[in-house]
A and B are shown apart, each in its own frame.
Chain A
Amino acid sequence: MLQNIFFGLSLGAVYSLIAVGFALVFNILKFSNFSHGGVMSFTAYAGYLAYIWIFDGKVTGVAMFVAVVLTAAVVGSLTAVGIERVGFRRLRSNQAPVIYYFISSITLGILLENIITIFASSNFYSYPVFFSSKNVDLLGTSFSVADFVTLLFSTAALGALLFVLYRTKLGLAVRTVSFDVNTATLMGIDPNRVVMATFALSGALGGISGVFLGMNYSLYPQLGQLVVKGFIASVIGGLGSITGAVIGALLLGIIEVGLIGLVGSGWMPACVFVIMLVFLLVRPRGIAGVIVQEKA
């Protein structure tokens, strides 16, 4: 039981990285950025290549893991910033309707997947094993080292993000733009830079989650489609809310592990979507959706 909850939390931690990367962009531009999936696939491969070409044989274990994750995070940042330039900058300057952003993001996501397929084929690659398959014994049950590190590292990444968002000037600017671009501009905040920074942050999280996904599921071009998990977590937690995304993702992780035990892994995804639908029907603003009404 305790072991299952822990496994669920570790899975949820990965989902929360995806969901928060997703929520960051939603917060600013108010659309569901499915190109995030493409970024995750891309960075998972980037981390893999960095392992083969650069780090293999030079470092091992945790150091290797950190090196690969950081590479992926940097590549993710750059990719996401590039995506913003190519796919969204012009839409913003033309004040295009939200649906255009949505279509553009899906297109770019698929494009990235297919570029990967061209260069790396649609084969599955197995990700390097960073951690021994040893278990840690704690509180009478045993936990795998990989899950432990996943949980720790995700928490650290989210902590760093929250620090940026709530303790720095950049974070203030990001949160200001998420309320109202025009008023933020009046305060002297450059929306172009804020959007770029947001995509960079989101891409870095996407990069980290890409590596985790690669470790959990092996590497293939459509790996990034697991962005759907982040989307579901965001819906459960409340679209656009960072804390909501984290809560939703952790819940989703635990629910999934629980469902696998109850109905098996075949039925699990179906049940998860039903849960999301229920949320959309009953509480569309999600768990954390406390929307402050602006007075007229």
Chain B
Amino acid sequence: MSYLTVQDLHVSYGPVQALRGVNLHVEEGAIVSIIGANGAGKTTLLNTLSGIVKARSGSVLLRGKPLPERACNIIRAGMAHVPEGRKIFPGFTIEENLMAGAYIVDDKQLVEQRRNAMYARFPILAERTLQQAGTLSGGEQQMLAIARGLMSDPGLLLLDEPSLGLAPLVVKAVFELIREIRDKGGKTILLVEQNAKKALALCDYAYVLENGAIVLEGKGEDLLSNPAIRKAYLGAEDS
């Protein structure tokens, strides 16, 4: 069964059309990525899914049900969004950032249990629970942003450019983490990436977004070997 279904989604900022009729499906337990150039509408798509941007028309179904009207209720439906640029709360401590991620969880014991699980998974965060998050390195901030996204234990995790501005080694760690979240955590993941090569290698299925429309879709490995994709997104060094 399809976990997330997007049908004919149109979004515009004033007169500018950002998305024109996007359709996509995310199967339960899959990693699906959306690749595309700057300005293709990738972030707009995720922001529309999580309700920050309002769609002009189209429908989004999460496990067959329409999403809640108000953006702040969408996480309660089981979809968490790790935004572009991480957007951790810089003046908060690491601990407070995680608590903010668990805002919708009322059971204090459950929150504590999940927080401990995050610290076990990310020892680097556990060492500095009371450090201001803004002083972390970019990679650490990304880990924190993902950990924060997991605190509500969502079924579906939206990740927007998690490799943005990170050193190659850190990028590798982030992608390993994403795979682990799916394999061990059982989450479904929708990943938006500019790093097309890494994203395609990781994902089960991928969509290529161009000028607000899906121009190509297919299995990750198929797209990796697709000549048009190689030319447009993977650069000459692969040819």
Chain A residues at the B interface, C-beta cutoff of 8 Å: 169, 172-173, 175-176, 179-180, 182-191, 292-296
Contacts and interface: CB of A to CB of B under 8 A. Distances in A.
A159 B52 CA distance: 35
Given A187-B100, A189-B72, A295-B134, 9 more contacts: A175-B96, A176-B100, A187-B148, A188-B75, A189-B100, A292-B90, A293-B90, A295-B136, A295-B137
On chain B, which size bracket covers the interface? 35 or more
B71 interface: yes
B132 interface: yes
Contacts of A184: 100
Nearest to B80: A186
A96 B225 CA distance: 48
Given A172-B96, A183-B83, A185-B51, A190 B72 contact: yes
A296 B165 contact: yes
A187 B96 CA distance: 13
Contact of B134 (A183, A190, A293): A293
Given A172-B96, A172-B99, A179-B90, A186 B134 contact: no
Given A179-B90, A180-B89, A187 B75 contact: yes
A157 B69 CA distance: 38
A180 B133 CA distance: 14
Contacts of A179: 89-92
A293 B90 CA distance: 7
Interface string B124-148: 0000000010111110010000001
B52 A186 contact: yes
B122 interface: no
Contacts of B50: 186
12 contacts: A172-B100, A175-B92, A176-B92, A176-B103, A186-B50, A187-B103, A188-B74, A188-B76, A188-B104, A190-B72, A295-B141, A296-B85
List of 6 A-B pairs having minimum Cβ-Cβ separation, nearest first: A292-B134, A188-B104, A188-B75, A183-B87, A190-B72, A292-B90
Nearest to A295: B138
B52 A185 contact: yes
Contacts of A296: 85, 138, 165
Contacts of A172: 96, 99-100, 103
B78 to A, nearest CB: 11
A185 B72 contact: yes
A172 B102 CA distance: 11
Given A169-B103, A294-B134, A295-B137, A186 B89 contact: no
Nearest to A183: B87
A173 B89 contact: no
Contacts of A190: 70, 72
Nearest to B152: A188
B17 interface: no
A183 B89 contact: yes
A26 to B, nearest CB: 15
Nearest to B47: A182
A186 B104 contact: no
B72 A191 contact: yes
